[in-house]
Structure 1
Amino acid sequence: MKARLNVLGRKHNIIGVIVQDETTGESKHFYDSVAFENVSVEQKVVLGECIESQSFEKKIEDLKQLLEDSKDHLKVLGEQIIREVVGCGGLPFGESILPNLAKEYKEHSDYIDGVSCSLDVLKSDNYA
């Protein structure tokens, strides 16, 4: 994964960074190991693996939690459907809430698929 800087919607590859040591105040230079081959070993890094974005990581964690909660809800809906089918004693279901539960189950399943796809897009090279 390439490290990128997004400035006003334009993406630029990051090939080097200057950081300041918190304790000494000394500036240190680091260069992308792919773009720069003739720098010292201690200055070569894979920037795409080193640069962290706390807000990006938070969004991914939030989506993962949403996905987990949604799967739990889907499981509860499935259990409700089973109880309703067993409680009706057979077909037709008459005044049963089964059609509404089945519709909610389907919609929530589609919702989970959408959240899962969103998570995949966030993790892809184009957005990370």
Structure 2
Amino acid sequence: MKARLNILGRKHNIVSVEVQDPETGERKHFYDSEEFSFMPEDKTADLANCIESPIYEARIVEDLNQLIVDSRDHLKDLGNQIIQEALVHNGLPFGDSALPSLAKEYKEHSDYIDGVASALEVVKRDNYE
């Protein structure tokens, strides 16, 4: 996949970039290794994998955080449904009780939240190392 630059809705392939060293102020030019394979290795880079977007990554973190909040709210609702079901049937899952299916959904959703939280940790760790 090519690195792209979106300017006013038009997407342009990034084939080279000029960068500035933050410490020395020295400027260097790098070319996409796929487009410019004939150039020396120290002048080329796989730009699709090298270019980072802190804003995009921050959005991913925000989205994952919101997903966790929403999922925990859903888990609370499931917990309340389980409590209500247990009260209606005096804690015994007889008859047409929905208790077993609610308990299963509660467990699965809890595992889902753990998975999203793990993904969030990975994204944060990759952004701050």
Q: Residue type of the partner of 1:56? A: Y
Count, aligned residues: 98
Query: What is the RMSD of the two structures over their aligned residues, measured on CA atoms?
Result: 2.8
**What CA distance in whole angstroms lies between the structure 2 residues aligned with 1:57 and 1:50?**
14
Unaligned ranges ≥5, structure 2: 97-108, 110-115, 117-129
What percentage of aligned pairs have identical amino acids? 38
Q: 1:73 matched to which residue of 2?
A: 73
* Aligned equivalent of 2:6: 6
Give TM-score, length-normalised by structure 1: 0.66
**1:74 to partner: Cα distance:** 1.4
1:59 counterpart residue number: 59
- Normalising by the residue count of structure 2, what TM-score does the alignment of the two structures yield? 0.66
Deviations 1:11-31 (A, max 9, x none): 000010011122222210111
AA matched with 1:87: L
SS in structure 2 at match of 1:37: coil
In the alignment, the residues of structure 2 paired with residue 27 and residue 14 of structure 1 have an alpha-carbon distance, to the nearest angstrom, of 18
Report deviation, 1:53: 1.2
Give the equivalent residue in structure 2 for 1:126.
none
Q: C-alpha separation between the residues in 1 aligned to 2:23 and 2:86?
A: 67
The Cα shift of 1:91 comes to 8.1
Structure having greater relative contact order (Cα 8 Å, sep ≥ 6): 1
> Match for 1:27: what amino acid?
R
